[in-house]
A = this chain, B = another copy of it.
Amino acid sequence: MTENTPFDLQNFLPYLLNQAAEESSLAFQQVYKDRYGMLRTEWRVLFHLGIYGRLTAKEIGERSKMHKTKISRAVARLADRRFLTREQDDRDRRLEYLELTASGRAAYGDLRGVAERYDAQLSETLSPDENRLLRQALQKLARMG
């Protein structure tokens, strides 16, 4: 007996997740790109420092799961534009502590507000139950690795 049921691509989780991720990040991307000329890697580094304060590149990598070369380049660009400062650790000179400057914090505050409003707006398209379970399920999937 041959399998004839058509495969439902729209319901294949890796595909579906990617479609949803792409669609839902478009509007936010528009903002950090147009307003600050940032890339995805850059707003992520900015947010990590905005939220957790002083961190090393390695710590950002652990929290964000971004590859270290991405982080290295994002940090370099953010430092060029004076959004953050780098300071070497005296004890272990391989380490560099990264910290937002005043304008880095301003950009973070601005984008954070945009993010909060945008997330709320996305949430409105879902019921409270959907929202709760969606986020819970996504957390599980994201933590699988």
The size bracket of the interface on A is: 35 or more
B135 near A133: Cβ-Cβ < 8 Å: no
* A52-82 interface with B by 8 A CB criterion: 65
Cα distance, A77 to B108, chains bound together (Å) = 42
Cα distance, A122 to B6, chains bound together (Å) = 20
**Interface assignment of A144: CB less than 8 Å from any CB of chain B:** yes
**CB of A34, distance to nearest CB on chain B (Å):** 16
In chain B, what residue has the closest Cβ to A133? B133
User: Assuming A14-B21, A17-B138, A142-B20, is B48 touching A9 (CB within 8 A)?
Assistant: yes
Cα distance, A15 to B115, chains bound together (Å) = 10
B16 near A25: Cβ-Cβ < 8 Å: no
Partner-binding segment picked from A83-91, A95-103, A123-131:
A123-131
The 10 A-B residue pairs with the shortest CB-CB distance in the complex, in nearest-first order: A17-B21, A14-B25, A19-B142, A20-B141, A134-B137, A133-B133, A21-B21, A20-B142, A20-B138, A130-B137
